[in-house]
Chain A
Amino acid sequence: MTEPVSISLTVNGATHDLVVAPRKTLADVLREDLGLTGTHVGCEHGVCGACTILIDGAPARACLTYAVQMEGHELTTIEAVAKSGELTPLQRALTQVHGLQCGFCTPGIVLTFEVWLRDNPDPDEAGVREALSGNICRCTGYQNIVKAVLAAAAEMRRGAGA
């Protein structure tokens, strides 16, 4: 129906019952209906990567997904990345080496690399840059983001080895 439909969304481990129009994007529903404003809308055509969230643990553009599609899937947003307020190694590295400026693109980058680093625990710079190419940052020139991802990978390897 074009009319609003009832759906149940599981976001950051909690279930929410909502009534949404089928055309309403996941990004808008997360922000407006659930108040999860850490998901930023930068282009609405899938290029900039600011709205990247996790669908069943895989990064995806929330602007190219409709909320109605997400019933039965596990969604993760930036609000759930730091567990009980403690920053992850990636988040810590980003602040330590100044890998963010205006912060608008940052949530999408954090979510992308929280997953990517799991699959690529010992990355090289070219690999990080390739993975980062789906997120546009207008402030940093990317250099310190790359540095932060490499530093976080090293930190996580040390953590895993300990």
Chain B
Amino acid sequence: MKPASFTYHRPGCLDDALGLMATLGVTAKPLAGGQSLGPMMNMRLARPEHVVDLNDLLELDFVRVTDAVVEIGALTRHHRVATDPEIARALPLLAKAAQSIGHYAIRQRGTLGGSLVHADPAAQYALVAITLDAEVVIRSARTTRVVPAVDFVQSIMTVDLAPDELVTAVRFRRLAPAEGWGFEMFSRRHGDFALVSVALTLRRDGHGAISNLRLGVGGVGPVPERLAVVERDACRLAADVGTIAVLARQAADNVTPEDDPQVPANYRRELVEAVTARALTAAVLKTESPS
């Protein structure tokens, strides 16, 4: 299990990297943490002619928190996202999601941008990004563009990225102090990709009822999806056990998972209900004792 031959490039800064991507085009594959690309190359499922190593682009390893936005560089490792105190304050939902990625050693190398571009249907960042309407910052030697996460992630392992482009950052809206959130997943083993994952945020109105629910589900389709119907119907419902059960059931009714002999569609739908209920419970609890 050894990779096929490739030519190695190690640009020292973003501009050089973009220059290489422009020159090499489809023959090149950018390499960040290598935790997904590495296995694919070792198994020769990926065999790029050129590998452009992004690990020296330290300008892409950053966390910037403003009043409204948490912007995170594409080369920021999962471990930093999981443990950064600023992220823990401004976007604890993302921190919790990052903590659940793979394993300790994997999180030391894997990157935000790498995971997002790899676009595994069950991956954490894409789910959180889509749930929070995050924006993906993309650069090439030609231009810079900003794409909503929901448009960026197109299908299984397919994203809106031209051969000469690199993701440089992701911009998340920071959570309001009164905003509750939940991130829950169900996987076969700890650290495995989720069979179902749920990310959500909600607020409570003056009467304690639910308002502004954002609900994203991962693992059930080619890309993580927002359940708009549930989000809409949740408005003004009392934040109690009964509502949680109703919304969780509604979430399950609004997904169409693929049937897999190991994980039948009806089972995955049941997981959506169970995992959504847990995430809703966690979020409601947070709005009751904000801390």
Contact = CB atoms under 8 A, between A and B. Distances in A.
Interface string A16-51: 000001110100000000000000000011100100
B38 to A, nearest CB: 3
B7 interface: yes
On chain B, which size bracket covers the interface?
A: 20 to 34
Contacts of B53: 69
B43 interface: yes
B104 A134 contact: yes
B64 interface: no
Interface stretch (B105-113, B177-185, B235-243, B261-269): B105-113
Interface residues of A, dominant DSSP: mixed
Contacts of A21: 5
Contacts, number: 90
A160 to B, nearest CB: 21
Interface residues of A, number: 30
A5 interface: yes
Contact of A131 (B3, B35, B104): B104
B68 interface: no
Contacts of B51: 22, 66
Contacts of B2: 23, 25, 44
Q: Which of A46, A58, A130, A133 has the most CB of B within 10 A?
A: A46
Contacts of A135: 103
A46 B38 contact: yes
Given A49-B103, A131-B104, A134-B104, A60 B109 contact: yes
16 contacts: A23-B3, A23-B6, A44-B2, A52-B105, A60-B109, A61-B105, A64-B38, A64-B39, A64-B109, A66-B51, A69-B8, A69-B53, A133-B189, A134-B103, A134-B106, A135-B103
